[in-house]
């Protein structure tokens, strides 16, 4: 039996996915506690609209802005994410745990440093845009990698009022140019409208506890 490390995760799950220079790759991180169809929809929209060749579904060890008291073991969240995803372009990984990376700014820097020539795009749901300015070194993230914000229920107007949207208003591109986003020099970001799922990890956990 393979050795289990980092919250019970198998070593193979902690490896950074293989990519080649010139590829367009989306980075989609989260605690995925648990992963659900709403996350899957964001990934599918990003792959299609941004014309990505890969999407890294990055299961984080923990979110500094969220409580860890209700966080399921890393191995459980990776396993659930792997079962949910059937698209071979989606690579479920927890490499942040292996490199002991805690903040997104460090994840972005690490991915770029180890994969020169790869055209990365940071992917996030619109529900995260409201608090993006609370992320560690958030301006550095925006200046390091193009960002695609995917619409989520109740968050459509967040891009109008968020500090990130106001600060980088000059760098926003129309979503019709989304296929070219990975080739753009940051700062560059877009808001992508599309189908939305009302599912949330918080609601799923609450429903489970109520049973």
The model's pLDDT over 67-76, given as tens digits with 9 standing for 90+, comes to: 556 899 999 9
C-alpha–C-alpha distance, residues 135 and 131, integer Å = 7
Residues 163-171 have a mean pLDDT of 95
CA-nearest of 143, 68, 129, 149 to 102 is 68
**Span 22-55, pLDDT tens digits:** 999 999 999 999 999 999 999 999 999 999 999 9
C-alpha–C-alpha distance, residues 6 and 106, integer Å = 18
Residue 209 has pLDDT above 50, yes or no: no
pLDDT confidence of residue 18 = 97
Q: How far is CA 143 from CA 56, 80, 122, 123, 137, in A?
A: 20, 33, 11, 15, 10
**Span 76-112, pLDDT tens digits:** 999 999 999 999 999 999 999 999 999 999 999 999 9
Residue 189 has pLDDT above 50, yes or no: yes
C-alpha–C-alpha distance, residues 109 and 140, integer Å = 10
CA 51, 125, 172, 168 torsion: positive or negative?
negative
C-alpha–C-alpha distance, residues 37 and 116, integer Å = 32
**Span 106-146, pLDDT tens digits:** 999 999 999 999 999 999 988 888 889 999 999 999 999 99
For the chain, how many residues are written? Answer: 211
pLDDT confidence of residue 157 = 65
pTM across the whole model: 0.87
């Amino acid at each position: 039996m393979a050795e289990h490390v980092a919250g019970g995760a198998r070593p193979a799950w902690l490896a950074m996915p293989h990519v080649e220079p010139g590829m367009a790759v989306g980075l989609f991180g989260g605690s995925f506690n648990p992963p659900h169809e709403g996350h899957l929809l964001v990934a599918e929209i990003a792959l299609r609209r941004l014309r990505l060749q890969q999407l890294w579904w990055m299961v984080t060890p923990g979110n500094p802005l969220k409580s860890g008291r209700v966080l399921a073991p890393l191995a459980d969240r990776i396993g659930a994410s792997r079962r949910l995803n059937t698209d071979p372009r989606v690579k479920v990984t927890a490499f942040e745990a292996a490199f002991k990376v805690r903040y997104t700014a460090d994840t972005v820097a690490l991915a770029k440093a180890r994969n020169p020539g790869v055209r990365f795009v940071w992917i996030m749901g619109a529900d995260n845009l409201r608090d993006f300015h609370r992320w560690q070194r958030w301006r550095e993230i925006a200046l390091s990698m193009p960002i695609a914000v995917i619409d989520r229920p109740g968050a459509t107007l967040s891009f109008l009022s968020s500090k990130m949207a106001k600060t980088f208003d000059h760098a926003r591109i129309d979503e019709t140019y989304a296929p070219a986003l990975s080739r753009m020099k940051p700062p560059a970001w877009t808001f992508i409208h599309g189908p939305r799922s009302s599912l949330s990890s918080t609601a799923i956990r609450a429903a489970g506890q109520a049973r």
